[in-house]
Amino acid sequence: MEKQIKISDYIKTGSLPTGKLNKITDVKGVRVGHSTIKNAENYTGVTVILPSENNIYTNKLEAAAYVLNGFGKSTGLVQIEELGLLEAPIALTNTLNVGKVLDGMLDYVIDNLASDDVFCSINIPVLECNDSLINNIRKRAVETKHVYEAIENACENFEEGDVGAGTGTKCHGFKGGIGSASRIVELDGKEYTVGILVQTNHGHCEDLRIDGKKVGLKLKERIDELNYAEKGSVIVIMATDIPMSNRQIKRVLKRVDIGLIRNGSYTSHGSGEVFLGFSTANVHTSDSKAFFTTTYVKDDFLNIVFKAIGEATEEAVLNAMLNAHEAKTIQGKTCHSLRDYFDLILEEFKE
């Protein structure tokens, strides 16, 4: 595996400290796995986020979803909106494989998480981006075996770039992919983590900014074949160990767009911006008790969390692009890697 790049190792985006790995898995218990398909026809895959080391079906987590622009085909958001709970792992894939990935996830949950005495229904979030620019999406190449492979590969120090659900995506005219970042915040003298994972498939090259600099305009002057239409999607998953209610999680998710805007996205008509977040702090166990005790942060103290999610999202998008490799579109055009032009970008930041 080629050495992974973090934009924050070269260019400081934001002011908050990062977690140990600077990934969503800096939140204890969270793991991420990929299954990647690369062949003559298909450039796609599946990514699975395991939110907890416990059986999440019987140990549900506070969660929320926020749809900024609803040009998407995700599953599982309606029940999360209604109940404010996450009860299954999260999967990301391409648009036409949502149903097949959902089938694979159902098989996994039935076999591994749901015992006969409690199981009668399950709500599994499967989110998507349309990777048809690079992938022959109509072949629907992702199968149940790929879902299981992604789950088996789940770990803390997972790969970023053109892997899993990000294998065939593009971003700001360049190759997109899976990216991640984290930020550490302090509340009442204790450190907490806000982690982000993105599936990037959005944006124009000319709009791309890094730490406020209009790098996209200069890159476009040097590189051909960057004029891909701004219609795709970006999926953003947030994990945190901050004790928050589902209402508060949704408030935080609404600030994801701050990070996307900093990178130059303006949420076009055809781009689906779908955000899903959860907290590992308050676990809803399956028992017969009518009440349980929880702790939530006061709303007055959420400002630092709003800042953290903006910074982490901004960096996660750039990390996805910097770790993705050059690919060919279905029409044979080159989808360039931002990594190949990183030296030019760094020139912009030399004093």
At 266-317, the pLDDT tens digits run: 888 888 999 999 999 999 998 878 898 899 999 999 999 999 999 999 999 9
Question: Which residues, 6 or more positions from 310, have their beta carbon under 8 angstroms from its beta carbon?
Answer: 14, 255, 256, 258, 259, 262
Q: Are 196 and 18 in contact (CB under 8 A)?
A: no
Instruction: State how far the Cα of 159 lies from the Cα of 332, in Å rounded to an integer.
Output: 27
pLDDT over 90 at 3, yes or no: no
Instruction: State how far the Cα of 316 lies from the Cα of 307, in Å rounded to an integer.
Output: 14
Catalytic residue among 182, 233, 279, 337: 233
Query: What integer is the mean pLDDT of 137-143?
Result: 98
Kind and range of the H or E run holding 345: helix 342-347
pLDDT at residue 226, rounded to an integer = 62
Q: Are 5 and 11 in contact (CB under 8 A)?
A: no
Domains of the chain with CATH codes: 7-347 (3.60.70.12)
Q: Are 10 and 348 in contact (CB under 8 A)?
A: no
Q: Are 226 and 173 in contact (CB under 8 A)?
A: yes
Q: Mark whether 273 is an active-site residue.
A: yes
Q: What is the pLDDT of residues 97-125, one digit of tens each?
A: 999 999 999 999 988 876 655 567 899 99
Q: In the predicted model, what is the mean pLDDT of the chain? A: 94
pLDDT over 80 at 151, yes or no: yes
Catalytic residue among 35, 180, 182, 271: 271
Q: Mark whether 233 is an active-site residue.
A: yes
pLDDT at residue 263, rounded to an integer = 96
Instruction: State how far the Cα of 200 lies from the Cα of 267, in Å rounded to an integer.
Output: 13
pLDDT over 90 at 166, yes or no: yes
Predicted confidence band of residue 229 (pLDDT cuts 50, 70, 90): low
Instruction: State how far the Cα of 157 lies from the Cα of 172, in Å rounded to an integer.
Output: 26
Catalytic residue among 128, 159, 160, 273: 273
